[in-house]
């Protein structure tokens, strides 16, 4: 079997001899060539590259940045600019697209939450900013209220600033927990169905007691409307990952919301030092890359993209089902990573392989493929991180391995 790398080499050799007539074909070879060079570097270093049918996992380097984003990154790498000016202009444009008063590019959703909280606590006061995360013995507010079911690992971003979490369940508990030491009320969007207090009520109580509210929507586009839904709803700060379905830089994210609070978050971050955010630097390439990613995402044809995902899932499903003993199920997670995903299970009396073994065979194959697994005999895959054409490879390889077992 010809490897993907060898195929790309042949294709670009052909383009050198002018065998491709159309400009489009030549251009796609240029892209392929860029990829090939990157692959050569990975090869030189002995790093395995793979087709990502798993999803946007930080451990798997998240997502691949599209051409528009890479162009923004490459173009901005040729000039100096003032970091604050880049953040300011990009922030204005992102805010406009997302119905927010203001926005900034952070080093991921996690960093957006640290900086947003720091801004709420310290404001634009360098004396106060320098005290974080040591709040004890200061007059800085040090409590953040969170619903118990939202109180998961992600809340550590907030507690990085030195605050303590006050867990609550009911609205009554929430109102009783609010006092002079309450800095903020934090909400985890994907946990909304598990908590008693819905979004609107959370925002309403925050406004009533003048406590800023923050929401984590890290992995929660699609749908694209989520970029503005929570700003429209009245959350004071909204935090999202740049390097998940938005396909911006993996180490970027967005903090958006109230103008004074975004300004305060920026005050607690580079280029200023002596603050908790100094280590969460975002370079100008990522700031502009994030802008390009949001612009692309807001303007793309989401219906068409969804249809393509469904087609790709259907293709893989159909090929897998050709093997006797295979069952499939298509589901769409309701909130985070809301894209069609496919579970493939098999009768181990007919197909004698565990999901770990199957995934290992796919990982060792050429090209290597990654996906998730559960139990003894189920693999889970998504198609939203595939590059065009890879769905065929995934479909063929899964069928091959199942048929062989």
Question: Least distance from C-beta 285 to ligand PLP, angstroms?
Answer: 17
Question: Least distance from C-beta 178 to ligand PLP, angstroms?
Answer: 24
Return the residues of window 346-405 that contact ligand PLP according to CB under 6 A. Answer: none
Instruction: Show the binding pattern over residues 270-299: x = contacts ligand PLP (CB under 6 A), - = does not.
Output: ------------------------------
Give the residue from 126, 129, 117, 119 showing the smallest Cα distance to 160: 117
Cα–Cα distance, 16 to 10 (Å, whole number): 10
Instruction: Show the binding pattern over residues 183-202: x = contacts ligand PLP (CB under 6 A), - = does not.
Output: -------x------------
Question: Least distance from C-beta 107 to ligand PLP, angstroms?
Answer: 7
* C-beta closer to ligand PLP: residue 108 or 116: 108
Interaction between residue 218 and ligand PLP (CB under 6 A): yes
H-helix segments, 126-272? 126-129, 156-159, 171-177, 199-209, 226-233, 259-267
Please report which helix (H) or strand (E) contains residue 24, including its range: helix 23-45
Span of 131-139, 216-224, 229-237, 269-277 interacting with ligand PLP by CB under 6 A: 216-224
Using CB under 6 A, count the residues that bind ligand PLP.
12
Interaction between residue 219 and ligand PLP (CB under 6 A): yes
Question: Least distance from C-beta 155 to ligand PLP, angstroms?
Answer: 9
H-helix segments, 46-185? 67-76, 83-97, 109-122, 126-129, 156-159, 171-177
Span of 166-174, 213-221, 349-357, 379-387 interacting with ligand PLP by CB under 6 A: 213-221
DSSP line for 286-344: HHHHHHHHHHHHHHS-HHHHHHHHHHHHHHHHHHHHTSTTEEEEEE--SSTT-S-EEEE
User: Which of 3, 58, 170, 324: binder of ligand PLP (CB under 6 A)?
Assistant: 58
Please report which helix (H) or strand (E) contains residue 249, including its range: none
* C-beta closer to ligand PLP: residue 242 or 394: 242
Return the residues of window 12-51 that contact ligand PLP according to CB under 6 A. Answer: none
The dihedrals phi and psi of 59, each to the nearest 5 degrees, come to -65, -25
User: Which of 131, 154, 379, 385: binder of ligand PLP (CB under 6 A)?
Assistant: 154
- The first and second tokens of residue 155, run together, are 């809340």
* C-beta closer to ligand PLP: residue 94 or 219: 219
Question: Least distance from C-beta 291 to ligand PLP, angstroms?
Answer: 16
Give the residue from 205, 215, 210 showing the smallest Cα distance to 173: 205
User: Which residues are paired to 381 by β-bridges?
Assistant: 342
Return the residues of window 63-122 that contact ligand PLP according to CB under 6 A. Answer: 108-110
Contacts (Cβ under 8 Å, ≥6 apart) of 157: 109, 110, 111, 113, 114, 117, 216
* C-beta closer to ligand PLP: residue 287 or 402: 287
User: Which of 160, 241, 355, 382: binder of ligand PLP (CB under 6 A)?
Assistant: 241
Residue whose beta carbon is closest to ligand PLP: 108
Interaction between residue 253 and ligand PLP (CB under 6 A): yes
Question: Least distance from C-beta 242 to ligand PLP, angstroms?
Answer: 6
178 to each of 63, 83, 84, 153, 167, how far by Cα in Å?
40, 38, 35, 23, 11
Sole residue written with tokens 């600019």: 81
Give me the residues that bind ligand PLP (CB under 6 A), please: 58, 108-110, 154, 190, 216, 218-219, 241, 253, 336
């Amino acid at each position: 079997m010809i490897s993907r790398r060898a195929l790309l080499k042949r294709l670009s050799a052909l383009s050198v001899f002018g065998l491709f007539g159309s400009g489009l074909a030549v251009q796609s070879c240029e892209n392929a060539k860029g990829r090939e060079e990157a692959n050569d570097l990975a090869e030189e270093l002995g790093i395995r590259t793979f087709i990502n049918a798993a999803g946007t996992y930080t451990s798997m380097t998240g997502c691949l940045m599209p051409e528009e984003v890479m162009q923004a990154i490459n173009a901005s790498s040729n000039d100096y600019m003032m970091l604050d000016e880049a953040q300011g202009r990009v922030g204005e444009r992102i805010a406009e697209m997302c119905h927010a008063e203001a926005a900034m590019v952070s080093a991921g959703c996690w960093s957006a939450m640290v900086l947003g909280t720091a801004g709420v606590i310290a404001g634009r006061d360098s004396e106060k900013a320098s005290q974080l995360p040591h709040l004890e013995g200061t007059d800085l507010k040090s409590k953040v209220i969170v619903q118990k079911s939202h109180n998961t690992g992600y809340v550590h971003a907030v507690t990085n600033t030195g605050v303590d979490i006050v867990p609550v369940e009911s609205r009554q508990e929430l109102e009783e927990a609010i006092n002079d030491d309450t800095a903020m009320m934090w909400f985890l969007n994907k946990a909304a169905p598990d908590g008693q207090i819905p979004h609107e009520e959370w925002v309403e109580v925050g406004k009533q007691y003048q406590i800023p509210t923050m929401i984590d929507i890290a992995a929660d586009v699609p749908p694209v409307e989520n970029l503005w839904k929570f700003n429209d709803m009245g959350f004071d700060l909204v935090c999202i990952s740049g390097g998940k379905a938005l396909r911006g830089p993996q180490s970027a994210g967005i903090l958006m919301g109230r103008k004074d609070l975004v300004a305060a978050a920026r005050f607690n971050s580079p280029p200023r030092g002596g603050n908790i955010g100094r280590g969460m630097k975002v370079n100008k390439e990522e700031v502009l890359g994030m802008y390009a990613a949001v612009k692309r995402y807001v303007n793309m044809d989401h219906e068409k993209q969804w249809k393509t995902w469904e087609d790709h899932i259907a293709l893989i499903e159909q090929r897998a089902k050709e093997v006797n003993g295979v069952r499939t199920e298509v589901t769409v997670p309701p909130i985070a990573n809301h894209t069609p995903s496919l579970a493939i299970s098999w009768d181990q009396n007919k197909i004698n392989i565990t999901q770990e073994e199957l995934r290992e065979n796919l990982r060792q194959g050429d090209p290597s493929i990654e996906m998730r697994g559960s139990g003894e005999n189920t693999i889970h895959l998504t198609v939203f991180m595939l590059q065009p054409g890879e769905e065929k490879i995934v479909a063929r390889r899964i069928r091959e391995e199942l048929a062989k077992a």
